[in-house]
Amino acid sequence: MTILDKILAEKQKEVADLKESYQPGEIQAKRVNVSLYDSFMNADKMSIIAEMKRASPSKGLINDGVEPSAQGRIYETCGAGAISVLTDTPFFQGTMEDMQEVREVVDIPVLNKDFIIDEIQIDRAYDAGANLILLIAAALPEQRLAELYQYASEKGLEILFEVHNEAELAVAQRIGAQIIGINNRDLKTFEVDLATTERLAEKIDTTKTLLISESGMKEKSDVERVQKVGARGILVGETMMRSVDLKETFDSLRVPLGE
């Protein structure tokens, strides 16, 4: 059983509970109407989705003392284009409240980072003020991904569609995903390799599809590698959570986008 299988088994239970306990519309949060697609496509520097990530199955505790609203404010001030908040509790120590706290204090797009397998989770993400949800190609069959993609779009959410190999990328393209995240980390083995972005980017028309490279970004040279193949955005968790000088970290990773 891979870690992804374990997480998904846990999500089945969570969703069953949520269907009993959550009424869509129950939470009400600030809504900010911003498009990550538009802002990232129009930027002249690498855009950063900075992530709130206390812990992970691969790294254990990363930074559990973090205060979401303070961290969210700093991310925005330092130049984040968006903020990703992990809301999974058993494996990542995040909560939905973390995301709501961040939402209240920032005006940039907020991504609800979780393992979404059911519409009810999309309802709750929307209610809690998310602008985007994550859909992970490896988590579900194509038909189900297509249904959830459409459900989220109809609610006015944007979708970060995450892929890790050619077959998953083909699914993203058949579904018509506008924002594709190439995860450099294999969710089944935790291995990280930036060559994943380099290999898959070739098959994407990055003038129309917004390409985000996810995971494993530590320094400028990493960002330059993915910029060269057309990424306009990066998703950065651990490096941001461990940074002692966020302004400096953002400035060094926001490389120019030119040729």
Q: Contact between 194 and ligand IGP (CB under 6 A)? A: no
DSSP string, 37-91: HHHHHT-SB-EEEEEE-SEETTTEES-TT--HHHHHHHHHHHT-SEEEEE--STT
Q: At what angle do helices 142-154 and 166-175 cross, to 10 degrees?
A: 40
Instruction: List the interface residues with ligand IGP, window 13-72 (CB under 6 A).
Output: 51, 53
Judged by beta carbon, residue 44 or residue 193, the one nearer ligand IGP is 193
Q: Contact between 118 and ligand IGP (CB under 6 A)? A: no
Active site residue 13: no
Q: Contact between 236 and ligand IGP (CB under 6 A)? A: yes
Q: Contact between 237 and ligand IGP (CB under 6 A)? A: yes
Residues whose CB is less than 8 angstroms from the CB of residue 137 and which lie 6 or more positions away in sequence, other chains included = 145, 161, 162, 163, 164, 168, 169, 171, 172
Q: How far is it, in rounded angstroms, from Cα 119 to Cα 124?
A: 9
Q: Contact between 127 and ligand IGP (CB under 6 A)? A: no
Active site residue 183: yes
User: Taking CB positions, which residue lies at the least distance from ligand IGP?
Assistant: 237
Instruction: List the interface residues with ligand IGP, window 72-101 (CB under 6 A).
Output: none
Q: Contact between 162 and ligand IGP (CB under 6 A)? A: yes
Q: Tell me, by CB under 6 A, how many residues bind ligand IGP.
A: 15
Segment lying near ligand IGP (by CB under 6 A), choices 121-129, 149-157, 199-207, 229-237: 229-237
Query: Given the rule CB under 6 A, which residues bind ligand IGP?
Result: 51, 53, 113, 136, 162, 183, 214-217, 235-239
